[in-house]
Amino acid sequence: MPPDPRSAHAGTLHEGRTGTAPLIVTLLLDDAAQQRFDRLRAAHFPAERNHLQAHVTLFHALPGEQLGPVRDELRAAADRPAFDVTVTGVRFLGRGVALDLESGELTGLRAGLAGAFDPWLTRQDRQWSRPHVTVQNKVAPDVARALHAQLSAAFRPETVTARGLGLWHYRGGPWEPADRFPFR
C-alpha cells in the first residue's frame, strides 16, 4: 500500500512556487513488502511524527499546476511490466535509519521521468540518487545508531516487487491521493 493520506509534517518544499499544492510521486511496492516496511516504521519512527506509511519517494515537489502533464508522463511510464527491486542494506541517516533499494530498472524509470519533469525539478529532486525507505527519522543520533546496529546485524538482502507509481498532493501536512498508475 502507498502512504496513507494522513498528515505529514510541513516543511519547505515549494521553493517559491504558487499556492497550488505540490505533487509527490512514489514507487508502489508489493503488499507483503509494504506491510513489512510499515511494521518497521511503526515500531521505530517517533509516534508523534509518524503520519505516513512507509514509502519510496521519487519526486518530492512537482508543481501542482502541472497535474495534467505529470499524470500523462506517469501513465506512459507505468505502461511496463512490474519489476524487481533489491533491498541492499541499512543506511544510517544521522538522526534516523533507512533501507537502501537498488534496481537498474528503477534508476532508468526515474531518470526518464526526471528528464520529462526537468523544468519543474527542485534542488532536492535534482539531487536524488539512492532510493530508500525511511524507517526512522528525527530521533537522537544514539537512538538511530542503536537501531542501525540492530537492523544491520540481522539484515539479509531481499527482493521486492515494484508494482506501480503513486501520485499525491502535498497540502502543507496531509498527503492527499491524486492517482495511481499500476504497472502491467
Find the distance separating the first CA and the last CA of the chain, reported in whole Å.
Answer: 17
**How far is it, in rounded angstroms, from Cα 25 to Cα 88?**
22
Q: What is the pLDDT of residues 79-138, one digit of tens each?
A: 999 999 999 999 999 999 999 999 999 999 999 999 999 999 999 999 987 999 999 999
**How far is it, in rounded angstroms, from Cα 17 to Cα 13?**
9
**Is 96 inside a domain boundary?**
no
Kindly list the distances between the CA atom of residue 18 and the CA atoms of 44, 69, 119, in Å, as whole numbers in the listed order: 35, 17, 15
**How far is it, in rounded angstroms, from Cα 122 to Cα 5?**
23
Q: What is the mean pLDDT of the chain?
A: 89
**How far is it, in rounded angstroms, from Cα 147 to Cα 40?**
11
Pair 123, 15: CB distance under 8 Å? yes
**Is 122 inside a domain boundary?**
yes
**Is 150 inside a domain boundary?**
no
**How far is it, in rounded angstroms, from Cα 148 to Cα 92?**
6
**How far is it, in rounded angstroms, from Cα 114 to Cα 161?**
22
Calculate what percentage of the chain has a pLDDT beyond 70.
89
**How far is it, in rounded angstroms, from Cα 162 to Cα 64?**
25
Q: What is the pLDDT of residues 50-75, one digit of tens each?
A: 778 899 999 999 999 999 999 999 99
**Is 156 inside a domain boundary?**
no
pLDDT of 19 higher than 80:
no
**Is 157 inside a domain boundary?**
no
Instruction: Please tell me the predicted confidence (pLDDT) of residue 3.
Output: 40
Residue with cell 525539478: 121
Q: Which domain holds residue 64?
A: 23-85+103-131+165-175
Instruction: Please tell me the predicted confidence (pLDDT) of residue 128.
Output: 85
**Quick one: average pLDDT of 38-48?**
92
**Is 71 inside a domain boundary?**
yes
**Is 144 inside a domain boundary?**
no
DSSP percent split of the chain into helix, strand, coil, nearest 5: 35, 30, 35
User: Which backbone phi and psi does 82 adopt, to 5 degrees?
Assistant: -60, 160
Number of domains in the chain: 1
